[in-house]
């Protein structure tokens, strides 16, 4: 289930941000960040000073195929970088792979325990709350749709799934884990997208910005992942020691840093995260033609396994249940006469039973059905998530 959690979770990373975003002023104070202070610059106008010019140069001088080939063998956090990388890239990657000075190994170890205990819920939430939310974050939906990966969503999801899997793995940030590698490679991918998408006539026409994936967008997507997940776990009254909830946050703070987000934008606590999310995530959620198409592709992913007979209605109903009628309506998810009411009425008791809050013997059999369906839903996605190598794209979506 942990694996499944990772696979589903990765879907969450595919979200894109909305047009209203630029108009919402940035008032969140850096005093609430892991850095504790900062210039207060609106991250809407901050990208990645280090990675962007570097990757643009790699693309311009035709180095990317060779770099991708060399990096294919670089998979473990503790592994030396391969010989033969361009010097500027090597120097950057050596810096970028360092954990931040504030990384706390004790908290990261507690996060592992949390991920193991809560793998089932995390799988469902990453996939169907975060993942589907990404389709109503307009900037993300457009970037994903018009970038190279948008043309092959199966491949794209399996790649994105890797991050969700790696952060939940037992050795995530340890030398034999893969989360650091995944984050650094993703940072390079995002830098490439910033260089490539502005050359796409389709993206340029649809987008309301000149350069995609600002630091503000990064935080929007970040909130669609851990912040949204934690909000649901709290709403579902999942018993959670404070140390575990803080540790889960910490693993995502470290991930944000490794993805190139500045420390002054990374929230230091859940209350700061919730405050920032209310400012940058909630107001930008909206439907776009690209997001509607992506949502449809996501809900149909299980079709290769069961022809969509069971997977599509269940995934759709879960999405409606988790994100609400309004968002489900935006991405044109049909109402499900069986699954919608069942989730509404039985999900609370199901959780209560699982968490031992209700006496087990009297629990109706149907509550246990959920476990089975959740596993099935998770596995459908997992089957897409083969071990995969994240590569720097060289082009946009072919028109
Ligand atoms: C690629 C994760 C934010 C757009 C990726 C990949 C991962 C990832 C793991 C590599 C997968 C691949 O190569 O297909 C994340 C995480 C984010 C984040 C964890 C925030 C915490 C964003 C945002 C946008 C975005 C804000 C757009 C506004 C893209 C695009 C690609 C990509 C377009 C490349 C697709 C391609 O052409 O293959 N991201 N992402 N991401 N991401 Fe993100």
Kindly report the protein residue whose alpha carbon is nearest to atom 14 of ligand 1: 156
Measured between its terminal Cα atoms, the distance across the chain in Å is 38
Residue 156's pLDDT band, with cuts at 50, 70 and 90, is confident
Report how far ligand 1's centroid is from the alpha carbon of 186 (Å): 7
Whole-angstrom distance, CA of residue 189 vs CA of residue 393: 7
What confidence tens digit (pLDDT) does each residue in 259-297 have?
999 999 999 999 999 999 999 999 999 999 999 999 998
Range list of H helices, 355-397: 365-382
Whole-angstrom distance, CA of residue 257 vs CA of residue 263: 6
- With beta carbons less than 8 A apart as the criterion, state whether 144 and 14 touch: yes
Where along the chain do its domains lie? 1-18+43-384
Q: Give the chain's radius of gyration (CA, Å).
A: 20
- Ligand 1: which atom is nearest the Cα of residue 196? 37
Q: Which residue has the higher pLDDT, 381 or 169?
A: 169
Kindly report the protein residue whose alpha carbon is nearest to atom 15 of ligand 1: 13
- With beta carbons less than 8 A apart as the criterion, state whether 26 and 279 touch: yes
What confidence tens digit (pLDDT) does each residue in 84-107 have?
999 999 999 999 999 999 999 999
Whole-angstrom distance, CA of residue 25 vs CA of residue 328: 28
Instruction: List, in order, residues 6 or more apart from 172 with CB less than 8 Å away.
Output: 108, 111, 112, 166, 178, 179, 251
Report how far ligand 1's centroid is from the alpha carbon of 100 (Å): 21
Report how far ligand 1's centroid is from the alpha carbon of 139 (Å): 11
Which ipTM did the prediction report?
Answer: 0.98
Whole-angstrom distance, CA of residue 368 vs CA of residue 139: 39
- With beta carbons less than 8 A apart as the criterion, state whether 290 and 133 touch: no
Structure tokens at 313: 């209605």
- Three-state secondary-structure class, residue 147: strand
Instruction: List, in order, residues 6 or more apart from 74 with CB less than 8 Å away.
Output: 81, 82, 181
Residue 108's pLDDT band, with cuts at 50, 70 and 90, is very high
Structure tokens at 10: 């990765």
Helical axes 242-258 vs 228-235, angle rounded to 10°: 170
Nearest to 95 by CA among 82, 81, 108, 84: 81
Nearest to 186 by CA among 154, 161, 152: 161
Kindly report the protein residue whose alpha carbon is nearest to atom 36 of ligand 1: 149
Q: Which residues line the pocket of ligand 1, CB cutoff 6 A?
A: 13, 16-17, 139-140, 143-144, 147-149, 156, 159-160, 163, 186, 189-190, 193, 212-213, 217-218, 221-222, 259, 390, 393
Structure tokens at 8: 């589903």
- Ligand 1: which atom is nearest the Cα of residue 183? 9
Residue among 143, 145, 146, 256 to mutate when testing ligand 1 (max atoms within 8 A of CB): 143
Q: Is the dihedral of CA 244, 247, 249, 255 positive or negative?
A: negative
Residue 366 has pLDDT above 60, yes or no: no
Q: Which residues of 275-314 are buried (b: 16+ CB within 10 A; e: fewer)?
A: bbbebbbeebbbbbebbbbbbebbbebbeebeeeebbbbb
Mean pLDDT of 387-394: 84
Report how far ligand 1's centroid is from the alpha carbon of 363 (Å): 42
- With beta carbons less than 8 A apart as the criterion, state whether 220 and 237 touch: no
- Ligand 1: which atom is nearest the Cα of residue 10? 9
Residue among 190, 254, 260 to mutate when testing ligand 1 (max atoms within 8 A of CB): 190
- Provide the mean pLDDT of the chain: 86
- Three-state secondary-structure class, residue 267: strand
Report how far ligand 1's centroid is from the alpha carbon of 67 (Å): 19
Residue 141's pLDDT band, with cuts at 50, 70 and 90, is very high
Instruction: List, in order, residues 6 or more apart from 195 with CB less than 8 Å away.
Output: 52, 55, 56, 59
Report how far ligand 1's centroid is from the alpha carbon of 320 (Å): 24
- Ligand 1: which atom is nearest the Cα of residue 212? 28
């Amino acid at each position: 289930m942990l694996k499944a959690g990772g696979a589903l979770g990765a879907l969450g990373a595919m979200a894109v941000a909305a047009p209203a975003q630029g108009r919402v002023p940035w008032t969140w104070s850096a005093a609430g960040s892991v850095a504790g202070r900062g210039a207060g610059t609106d991250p809407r106008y901050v990208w990645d000073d280090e990675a962007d010019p570097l990757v643009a140069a790699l693309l311009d001088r035709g180095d990317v195929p060779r770099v991708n080939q060399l990096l294919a063998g670089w998979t473990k956090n503790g592994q030396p970088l391969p010989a033969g990388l361009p010097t500027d890239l090597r120097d950057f990657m050596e810096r970028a792979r360092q954990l931040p000075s504030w990384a706390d190994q004790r908290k990261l170890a507690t996060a592992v325990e949390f991920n193991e205990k809560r793998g089932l819920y995390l799988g469902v939430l990453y996939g169907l709350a975060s993942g589907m939310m990404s389709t109503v974050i307009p900037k993300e939906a457009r970037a994903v749709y018009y970038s190279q990966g948008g043309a092959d969503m199966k491949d794209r999801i399996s790649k994105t799934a890797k991050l969700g899997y790696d952060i939940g793995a037992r050795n995530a940030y340890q030398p034999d884990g893969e989360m650091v590698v995944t984050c650094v490679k993703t940072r390079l991918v995002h830098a490439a997208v910033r260089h490539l998408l502005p050359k796409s006539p389709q993206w340029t026409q649809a987008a309301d910005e000149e350069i995609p994936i600002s630091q503000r967008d990064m935080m929007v997507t970040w909130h669609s992942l851990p912040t949204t997940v934690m909000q649901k776990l709290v709403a579902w009254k999942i018993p959670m020691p404070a140390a575990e909830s803080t540790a889960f946050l910490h693993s995502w703070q470290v991930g944000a840093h490794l993805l190139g987000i500045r420390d002054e934008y990374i929230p230091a606590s859940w209350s700061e995260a919730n405050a920032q999310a209310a400012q940058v995530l909630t107001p930008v959620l909206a439907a776009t033609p690209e997001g509607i198409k992506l949502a449809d592709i996501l809900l149909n992913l299980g079709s290769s396994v069961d022809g969509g007979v069971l997977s599509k209605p269940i995934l759709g109903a879960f999405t409606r249940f988790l994100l609400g009628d309004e968002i489900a309506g935006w991405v044109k998810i049909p109402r499900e006469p069986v699954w919608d009411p069942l989730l509404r009425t039985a999900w609370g008791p199901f959780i209560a039973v699982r968490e031992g809050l209700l006496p087990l013997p009297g629990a109706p059999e149907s509550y246990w059905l959920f476990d089975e369906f959740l596993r099935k839903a998770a596995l459908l996605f997992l089957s897409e998530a083969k071990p995969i190598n994240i590569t720097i794209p060289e082009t946009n979506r072919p028109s």
